[in-house]
Amino acid sequence: MDAFLCSHNGNPILNSPFFNSKTELTHLTSRTPAGCYSIRSLSIFSSMRLRSSKSVFGSNETLLNSTQIKKHDRVECNAANVSDHLVQANVIEEEATQSSEISPSFKVSAGQGFPLGVSETERGINFALFSQHASVVTLCLSISERKTLGEVDAEVVELPLDPSVNKTGDVWHICVEDLPRHSVLYGYRLDGPREWQQGHRFDSSIVLIDPYAKQVEGRRYFGDAGNKMSKFLGTYDFTSLPFDWGDNYLQPSIPEKDLVIYEMNVRAFTADESSGLDPDIRGSYLGVIEKIPHLLGLGINAVELLPVFEFDELELQRHPNPRDHMINTWGYSTINFFAPMSRYASAGVGPVAAQREFKQMVKALHASGIEVILDVVYNHTNEADDVIPYTTSFRGIDNKVYYMLDVNGQYLNFSGCGNTLNCNHPVVMELILDSLRHWVIEYHVDGFRFDLASVLCRGTDGSPLNAPPLIKAIAKDDILSKCKIIAEPWDCGGLYLVGSFPNWDRWAEWNGKYRDDVRRFIKGDSGMKGNFATRVAGSADLYKVNKRKPYHSVNFIIAHDGFTLHDLVSYNVKHNDANGEGGNDGCNDNFSWNCGYEGDTADTNIEALRSRQMKNFHLALMISQGTPMMLMGDEYGHTRYGNNNSYGHDTAINNFQWGQLDARKNSQFRFFAEIIKLRHKHAVFGHDNFLEKNDITWHEDNWYNFESRFLAFTLHDGKGEDIYLAFNAHDYFVKAILPSPPQKRRWLRVVDTNLASPDDFVPEGVPGIGALYDVAAFSSILLVAKPQV
Catalytically active residues are 451, 488
| Distance separating alpha carbons of residues 473 and 746, to the nearest angstrom | 52
Q: Which run of H or E residues covers position 674?
A: helix 668-681
Helical pair 668-681 and 604-623, crossing angle rounded to 10 deg: 20
* Number of residues assigned to the chain: 789
**233 pairs with which residues across the strands?**
217
Distance CA 423, CA 432 (A): 8
Angle between helix axes 426-443 and 469-476 (nearest 10 degrees) is 30
Contacts of 90 (CB under 8 A, 6+ apart): none
Helix boundaries (H) for 102-178: none
How many CB atoms are closer than 10 A to CB 59? 16
> Residue-wise over 247-260: b if at least 16 C-beta within 10 A, else e?
eeeebbebebbebb
Q: Which of 423, 493, 492 is nearest to 456 (CA)?
A: 423
The conformational region for residue 756 under phi > 0 = left, psi -120 to 50 = alpha, else beta, is beta
| Rg of the chain, C-alpha, whole Å | 29
Name the pairing type of β-strands 171-176 and 261-264.
Answer: unpaired
Side-chain-side CA neighbours of 673 within 13 Å: the count stands at: 18
Give yes or no for a contact between 726 and 711, defined as CB atoms under 8 angstroms apart: yes
Q: Which residues contact 744 (CB under 8 A, 6 or more apart)?
A: 720, 787, 788
Short-list 176, 129, 137, 178, CA closest to 160:
137
Burial tier of 788 (Cβ tally within 10 Å: 0-12, 13-18, 19+)? exposed
Q: How far apart are CA 465 and CA 457, in angstroms?
A: 6
**512-537 burial string, b = 16+ CB within 10 Å, else e?**
bbbbbbbbbbbbbbeebbebbbbbbb
